[in-house]
Structure 1
């Protein structure tokens, strides 16, 4: 089990989802709440060479970058299967590409609680870090990306759909989805 990079030795009870972890956490969670992470924002800034693309035809996936705030979902980790779920999250978010760094940050739940949470941040030094790309470049990557878990366009559209279900609008993501879906 890895130790979060912020030096804490805590056993965080929550994981913050801002992309596919919102709509596909991959584990049974005893509680899910709308949540906000302050100081970070959602961005399509990572080349996907596994889940939503290949090394030859990368896709584009979300990461968290400094600045602003990000609203998403927080999933409480189960007590009984805690270690199994942590291993799963490390495998899912870190082991395949190593493009995310695990850290613990405070998040604000919709019921007013502030809780420490696992958060997966984009590693800006990683070779798959794309940064902010021009819209046309992002559209091409999303339109043609397909990896182990399906098409890149499905990933973008699922993210937009779940944000809308939460009552959130992300016009940049909506525009990317619209443009990528139109040949």
Structure 2
């Protein structure tokens, strides 16, 4: 057993938080990036849950794969499990990912557990935007989380049309709200 790989599809891509020796663009087949996890702490509350990213079945997902030296395996796996498995909404799996250079490697992936109470299911763009809009948790506004994720993906030259469509709906709603508030003489600052 040698070095191992970790697949990132969300914040792990721009904030991995662990040592690695190589980063490669990668595609995971059979799963897609989706706002399919109800957030009750960081981006919402139990009364007004928000949505955060998960890997859900179907399609494929472009992300980043990180190569980790064997000698750091225990340390990195402990870190990942503490970060990703807090509420057990994600399942740890070893799945094949195709790197940009054509290599296929086995990578640690965290996929959503569809049986978990926090699983929100497969949502249409409008439904996802409606849930995200107005949800706030300990880490801030859910809209900020989604818009930031889309910006980070764009910076990595990764297109996710579904996420971009959700972001457009959020921005359009924000523009409408700002226009309405200006018309009534109130500020849109929160």
Matches within 5 A, 1:10-29: 13-29=4-20
User: Which residue in 1 is equivalent to 2:68?
Assistant: 77
1:36 aligns with 2:34: no
Matches within 5 A, 1:1-183: 13-94=4-85, 96-181=86-171, 182=174, 183=177
* Larger of the two Rg values belongs to structure: 2
RMSD: 2.0
Q: What is the CA–CA distance in structure 1 between the aligned matches of 2:152 and 2:28, rounded to whole Å?
A: 17
Give the TM-score taking structure 1 as reference length.
0.84
Q: What is the CA–CA distance in structure 2 between the aligned matches of 1:51 and 1:75, rounded to whole Å?
A: 25
Q: Which has the higher contact order (CA 8 A, sep 6+)?
A: 1
Q: What is the CA–CA distance in structure 2 between the aligned matches of 1:65 and 1:83, rounded to whole Å?
A: 27
Q: Please list every run of 5 or more consecutive structure 2 residues that lacks an aligned counterpart in the other structure.
A: 178-190
Q: What is the CA–CA distance in structure 1 between the aligned matches of 2:119 and 2:3, rounded to whole Å?
A: 26
- The more displaced of 78-87 and 64-73 is 78-87
Write out per-residue CA displacement over residues 26-66 of structure 1, whole angstroms, 9 at most, x where no aligned residue: 22322211000011111111101233222232110111222
How many matched pairs?
173
Give the match's secondary structure for 1:156: helix
Write out per-residue CA displacement over residues 89-125 of structure 1, whole angstroms, 9 at most, x where no aligned residue: 111111x211000000010111221111001111000
Give the match's secondary structure for 1:92: helix
Q: What is the CA–CA distance in structure 1 between the aligned matches of 2:97 and 2:156, rounded to whole Å?
A: 17
